[in-house]
């Protein structure tokens, strides 16, 4: 006899989770994690890379199609030079050292952000990792690096204006879809869940266009401590939210 309960009630918490299509992650709190332990901020960034690797594995495990992580903002240039260099070296090493593993796991890696002005060796590594994984059909991992949301919109505007000026585009063709095609995330679905660790409740110039309708989840966990429990907590909060997109809720419709 079929077990009625099994039909009407999710068998496990895991099955009750609604899995987002695209998760954006503001990986914040590395410095405070380190400070709390009396260690240099750089140690927090080093541990943050391990948390990033955990996140990639979790997205694979739970079947999340897209994840975009904020790893260095265009505003982070105001930090001390030594910290900036340390972060750059760490991220460079991460993409280089983990390329094989990411590739074997069928992960497609893309780097979103301004590349001009970056170290030439780093630019080469970025090009290599993107080319190597370009045909992978698994998790799409976007690393927002030297990224700023306002600047992304400025660049899109410039490219559209140039096309209009040259007569390749008519003003009437400028639309939301066209702007989206000129963003770094062209062709990807917008994030439906944005997670920020570290306790701050702000966007900090991250995917400001794309996050227009994302569900925002703020966790107090410092990024280096981020683990499966936090990930599942964020998915649970997301699963309980009702996304209305300006319409009416099911209850009041
Ligand atoms: C996030 O951690 C990493 C980067 C911004 C590169 P922070 O370095 O901002 O850590 P807190 O916010 O100072 O704790
Ligand atoms: C946002 O964190 C940028 C990244 C996580 C890379 P910040 O620490 O730079 O943000 P604010 O300064 O607290 O807004
Ligand atoms: Mg911070």
pLDDT for position 251: 74
Domain segments of the chain as ranges: 20-240
Q: Among all residues, which ones are annotated catalytic?
A: 28, 76
pLDDT for position 16: 79
CA of 37 to the centre of ligand 1 (A): 15
The residue-averaged pLDDT of 218-232 equals 98
Nearest CA to ligand 2 atom 2: 28
CA-nearest of 164, 206, 163 to 185 is 206
Between 83 and 4, the more confident residue is 83
CA of 131 to the centre of ligand 1 (A): 29
Which pTM was predicted?
A: 0.93
pLDDT for position 14: 57
- Please provide the CATH number assigned to the domain covering 20-240: 3.40.1180.10
pLDDT for position 197: 98
pLDDT for position 60: 96
Pocket test for ligand 2, best of 204, 222, 224, 226 (most atoms within 8 A of CB): 204
Ligand 2: residues with CB < 6 A are: 26-28, 70-73, 76, 200, 202, 204
Confidence of residue 13 (pLDDT cuts 50, 70, 90): low
Average pLDDT, the chain: 93
pLDDT for position 11: 42
Q: pLDDT tens-digit profile of 236-245?
A: 999 999 888 8
Q: pLDDT tens-digit profile of 83-137?
A: 999 999 999 999 899 999 999 999 999 999 999 989 999 999 999 999 999 999 9
Q: pLDDT tens-digit profile of 186-216?
A: 999 999 999 999 999 999 999 999 999 999 9
Nearest CA to ligand 1 atom 3: 28
Alpha carbon distance 202, 223 (integer Å): 15
The residue-averaged pLDDT of 1-18 equals 52
Q: pLDDT tens-digit profile of 36-94?
A: 999 999 999 999 999 999 999 999 999 999 999 999 999 999 999 999 999 999 999 99
pLDDT for position 1: 42
């Amino acid at each position: 006899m079929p077990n009625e309960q099994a039909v009407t009630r999710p068998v496990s918490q895991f099955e009750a989770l609604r899995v987002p299509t695209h998760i954006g992650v503001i990986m914040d709190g590395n410095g405070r994690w380190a400070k709390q332990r009396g260690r240099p901020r750089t140690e927090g960034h080093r541990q943050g890379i391990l948390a990033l690797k955990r996140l990639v594995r979790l997205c694979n495990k739970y079947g999340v199609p897209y994840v975009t992580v904020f790893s260095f903002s265009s505003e982070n240039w105001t930090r001390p030079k030594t910290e900036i260099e340390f972060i750059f070296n760490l991220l460079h090493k991460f993409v280089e050292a983990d390329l094989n593993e990411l590739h074997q796991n069928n992960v497609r890696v893309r780097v979103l952000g301004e590349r001009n002005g970056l170290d030439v060796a780093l630019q080469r590594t970025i090009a290599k990792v993107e080319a190597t994984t370009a045909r992978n059909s698994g998790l799409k991992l976007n690393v927002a690096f030297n990224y700023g949301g306002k600047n992304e919109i400025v660049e899109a505007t410039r490219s559209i204006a140039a096309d209009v000026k040259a007569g390749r585009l008519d003003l009437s063709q400028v639309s939301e879809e066209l702007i989206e095609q000129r963003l770094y995330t062209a062709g990807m679905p917008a994030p439906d869940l944005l997670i920020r660790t570290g306790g701050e409740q702000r966007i900090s110039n991250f995917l400001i266009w794309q996050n227009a309708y994302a569900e925002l989840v703020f966790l107090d966990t410092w990024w280096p401590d981020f683990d499966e429990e936090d990930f599942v907590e964020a998915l649970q909060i997301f699963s309980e939210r009702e996304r209305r997109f300006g319409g009416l809720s099911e209850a009041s419709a």
